[in-house]
Amino acid sequence: MAVKEKVLEFANKVSKKKPGSKGAFTEKDPEYKILEPVVTDEMAEVALCLDFRVPKSADEVSKLCGKPLEITTRLLMELADAGVCFVNKKDGVDKFWYDTWVPGIMEMMTNNLANVRKYPQIAEAFEEYGRVRGAKTAGMLPVGVGLMRVIPIESAIDGESRRASYEEVSKYLNDNTVFSVSDCACRTVREAMGEGCGHLKEDMCIQMGHAAEYYIRTGRGRAITREEAFEIIHRAEENGLIHQIPNLDGSGKTHAICNCCGCSCLSLRTAEMFLNVDMVRSNYVAQVDKDKCVACGECVEHCPVNAARLGQKICSSKPVVKDITTKVTPRDTEWTPDKWNAEYRYNRKNVVDTGTSPCKTECPAHIGIQGYIKLAAQGRYTEALELIKKNNPFPAVCGRICPHSCESACTRGDIDEPVAIDDIKKFIAEQDLNSEHRYIPQTRHDYGKKIAVIGAGPSGLSCAYYLAIDGYRVTVFEKQPKPGGMLTLGIPAFRLEKDVVEAEIEILRKIGVEIKTGFEVGKDITLNQLRDQGFEAFYLAVGAQSGRKIGVPGEDAEGVDTGVNFLRRINMGEELRLSGKTIVIGGGNVAIDVARAATRVSDGGSVSMFCLESREEMPALKEEIEEAEEEEISIQNGWGPVRIITENGKVTGVEFKKCLSVFDEQKRFAPVYDEKETITMPAENVLLSVGQAIEWGELLRGSAVELNPNNTVKADPVTLQTAQPDIFVGGDAYTGPKFAIDAIAQGKEAAISIHRFVQPGQSLLIGRDRREYKALDKSGVLFDGYDRMARQKPAETAHNSGKEFRDVRGCFTEEQLKKETERCLGCGATIVDQYLCVGCGQCTIKCKFDAIKLERRYDGEGVSYEKLKPVVIKHVLKRKVKMTTKKIKESLSGSRAK
């Protein structure tokens, strides 16, 4: 394609370069590429008669370019519509001028969405400009005079006596009378390139004054009031975005406020990829008060530039990372590509190398446990509930049935006993059961897109919850007559009463989730029919809802049932009675539930459990084993079934053989038996609880979804996307049988993926928090000085007779709660990279403990583009002196070492 010479000439004029001279642009440069699709040479001839920030009328331009006024006016308006120049009414006459490339022409061109859709080259050129030109600016500008500048969230600097008015968002809004709002140019670029991060572009950037007039007139933005502008600012802050302003209009002046994310913003990329933080930072840096910090992780998750990470607060005899501040910076170092962080949108870290709080690490949902414990200690129960529900919509359920891996990992357990985290959570969640006090989250958006969730178990409902909060129309299809999955039909009421499940499910209905029960997708309606109805994505969370046989003779006899089916029948209200002796085969938590349920429907016959594993190897939790034994359930370890003995088609007993070992040296399931040692146990009922199976029915017919040999679905381990792009999977249907909290965690991850999938141009991976945590090394913790404190135990509400299905386990009193929360050691705390921090203040508004604040570290003040050159030259000279001094010191240090 022939080069448009006039267009190339204009590209050089904007950058004050002479065509053909050394360093002049060619057709390969982004400055030309962005203009080329939409600017003709005829338009460029007119553009060449415009000046930088000097408004001219069409009449003036017509005389300069020698074209008739009518044609000149048309071409100028075409340039303005394309985004190459501004147009404003001044004294009743249209005036035209151009501005810098960035911020300026490139954003304006990108905000012509029709052109970007038609010519993706526009977006690509804008991205390339920042990547190519940005690298050359590393270390070249002092704090405060970059092209763009972070403006702190105003509430974050309320207490700062040295703050200046130019650091306040409200100043810019109050100084102007005309406002518009447009889509974010940077996120438009990322979307066009298929590299969106899930932060969407719509109605994010505010223009003021002349820029607002231009945006309204050319259809790039819509007019808004000052009040609406403040609302957009507030909404951006709530959604984790930070404020930046174009910084070349002069101190205390700007024409726009951008609300940015660290994973797509082309300005923040300067700080993240090139580590050229001074180019964009505010005058502030975040400081952590470790005494107040509880390592909840909210600041870490919301830091746009990954400057905050979780670390260790408790003292240790081993080396612990206490400072993560970047030491090698472009301030005094020659900045070469080997020092960049090119993968910054993929390699985000949550934790320092020496780890953080074990409780948050080991929780599958990585809930901010220390955070809600501290909030509970302060009596801030609703805020504690809100914090939990950021990662778990079912705290009341999990407070009763969670395997509490957080407690198993609790550092306090190395002193006396772990903190009773589940009981604390249960107390907090009690208010969720009261319709007057429950926490119902606000929806953040209103996307309106329809999403189908197949299966109303914990994973499906979790996914529905987070999608609904994000503003999607979610329908959950459940083939059983009640929602809840195994929570409702698989767990007996003495562990989880069904009004608890229903109360938490009711909250989903309150936020707009539709739940259709008795409706089997695949049988009553197909996935393709749902697509025809407008559903844009599907989450398969059907669970492992069926029991498994064990493959021995006699297992089809009358009196034999799977444990899962047995529990389902009870939970569905079927009147069951077991006559005679009952044997439960299995050693997991479900087997315990089956055995304890069997005692409650038994006519007095004994209930025994037989399992392959030794007592130490049993997969059931220790406390559940103890509860079973308290109900006089006999547990026989180390026995495997050989056959079920029958007479006239009915069970009469079970023959077992001795199991010598269950696992081989690689911890693989490989039981070894003593074939000579067998026993025969009489029984009238046998309940098989050796695992669960997944039934797909007709659900997957005609889809590209692939299954593993165990009938779980093959999917990406991070995104949970299957081989059929619009189908995602999670919970037991993906992992095989696990705990509710594991399924809940995957439900949220699926919601993140589905949101990105149904929105145009979004990547499922870019900018995604991989939620990778590491526990601190407890072997080095110094426990001297910590007193032993007895773990609080909630009293039972009634005597456990082993005959009732109601849950007699009690809840902490408020006094007990206070005492138990005092036992938390507060192992972790946030650490901030003092160089990487851009001083946005997002961390301060997410912290509920006043543990992180912005402190004024710099005094950089913006200058206009016209006054920028001498400031840069002075800074560059100082930098060269620093670099020379550093090299001399390094040379002398090296000489001494020799």
pLDDT, tens only, 702-735: 999 999 999 999 999 999 999 999 999 999 999 9
Tell me: pLDDT of 561 over 60. Answer: yes
Contact 486, 569 (CB under 8 A): no
Structure token pair of residue 735: 């992992």
- pLDDT confidence of 895, banded at 50, 70, 90? low
Ramachandran angles phi, psi of 240, nearest 5°: 85, 15
699 contact partners, CB below 8 Å, separation of at least 6? 454, 521, 522, 527, 540, 542
Per residue in 408-453, pLDDT tens? Answer: 999 999 999 999 999 999 999 987 787 777 889 999 889 989 999 9
Compute the distance between CA of residue 80 and CA of residue 72 in angstroms, rounded to an integer: 12
- pLDDT confidence of 898, banded at 50, 70, 90? low
What percent helix, strand, coil does the chain show, rounded to 5? 35, 20, 45
pLDDT, residue 668, reads 87
**Mean pLDDT calculated for residue range 448-466:** 97
SS3 114: helix
CB count, 10 Å around CB of 18?
11
pLDDT, residue 162, reads 76
Structure token pair of residue 591: 């087997």
pLDDT, residue 251, reads 87
Q: Identify any residues that bridge with 692 across adjacent strands, giving them in sequence order.
A: 547
- H-run or E-run covering 645: strand 639-647
Complete DSSP assignment for 825-874: ---EEEEE-TTT-----HHHHH-SSS-EEEEE-------BGGGHHHHHHH
- pLDDT confidence of 96, banded at 50, 70, 90? very high
CB count, 10 Å around CB of 306?
19
- H-run or E-run covering 382: helix 381-389
What DSSP state is assigned to residue 788?
A: P
pTM, entire model: 0.94
Compute the distance between CA of residue 600 and CA of residue 598 in angstroms, rounded to an integer: 5
| Residue found by looking up tokens 């994505």 in the block | 537
**Mean pLDDT calculated for residue range 165-177:** 94
Complete DSSP assignment for 249-282: B-TT--SEEEEE-TTT-TTHHHHHTS--GGGT--
Per residue in 735-769, pLDDT tens? Answer: 999 999 999 999 999 999 999 999 999 999 999 99
- pLDDT confidence of 312, banded at 50, 70, 90? very high
CB count, 10 Å around CB of 780?
15
Per residue in 188-239, pLDDT tens? Answer: 999 999 999 999 899 999 999 999 999 999 999 999 999 999 999 999 999 9
Sign of CA dihedral 396, 400, 403, 408: positive
Sign of CA dihedral 835, 836, 839, 845: negative
At 664, which amino acid appears?
D
192 contact partners, CB below 8 Å, separation of at least 6? 116, 117, 120, 122, 123, 124, 761
834 contact partners, CB below 8 Å, separation of at least 6? 285, 325, 857
**Mean pLDDT calculated for residue range 81-97:** 97
- pLDDT confidence of 851, banded at 50, 70, 90? very high
Compute the distance between CA of residue 355 and CA of residue 467 in angstroms, rounded to an integer: 31
Contact 350, 308 (CB under 8 A): no
247 contact partners, CB below 8 Å, separation of at least 6? 103, 144, 145, 146, 147, 148, 149, 254, 862
SS3 26: coil
pLDDT, residue 438, reads 83
Complete DSSP assignment for 730-754: -THHHH-S--HHHHHHHHHHHHHHH
pLDDT, residue 107, reads 97
Tell me: pLDDT of 894 over 80. Answer: no
Structure token pair of residue 677: 């040692």
CB count, 10 Å around CB of 364?
21
- pLDDT confidence of 113, banded at 50, 70, 90? very high
Cis peptide before 103 (omega within 30 of 0): yes
Structure token pair of residue 641: 């079934």
Tell me: pLDDT of 51 over 80. Answer: yes
pLDDT, residue 95, reads 98
> In 848-880, which positions are buried (b, 16+ CB within 10 angstroms) versus exposed (e)?
bbebbbbebbeebbbbebeebeeeeeebeeebe
- H-run or E-run covering 97: strand 93-97
> In 438-463, which positions are buried (b, 16+ CB within 10 angstroms) versus exposed (e)?
bbebeeeeebebbbbbbbbbbbbbbb
- pLDDT confidence of 891, banded at 50, 70, 90? confident
Structure token pair of residue 610: 């037989």
pLDDT, residue 804, reads 84
- pLDDT confidence of 897, banded at 50, 70, 90? low
473 contact partners, CB below 8 Å, separation of at least 6? 448, 449, 450, 451, 512, 514
Sign of CA dihedral 142, 148, 151, 153: negative
Compute the distance between CA of residue 81 and CA of residue 224 in angstroms, rounded to an integer: 20
pLDDT, residue 163, reads 79
What number of helices (H) and strands (E) belong to the chain? Answer: 32, 28
Runs of H (alpha helix) within 83-223: 106-110, 113-118, 121-135, 169-174, 185-192, 209-217
Tell me: pLDDT of 698 over 90. Answer: yes
> In 645-677, which positions are buried (b, 16+ CB within 10 angstroms) versus exposed (e)?
bbeeeebbbbbbbebeebeeeeeeeeeebeeee
Least confident of 151-165, 441-455, 593-607: 151-165
Tell me: pLDDT of 30 over 70. Answer: yes
Ramachandran angles phi, psi of 457, nearest 5°: -85, -170
Tell me: pLDDT of 896 over 70. Answer: no
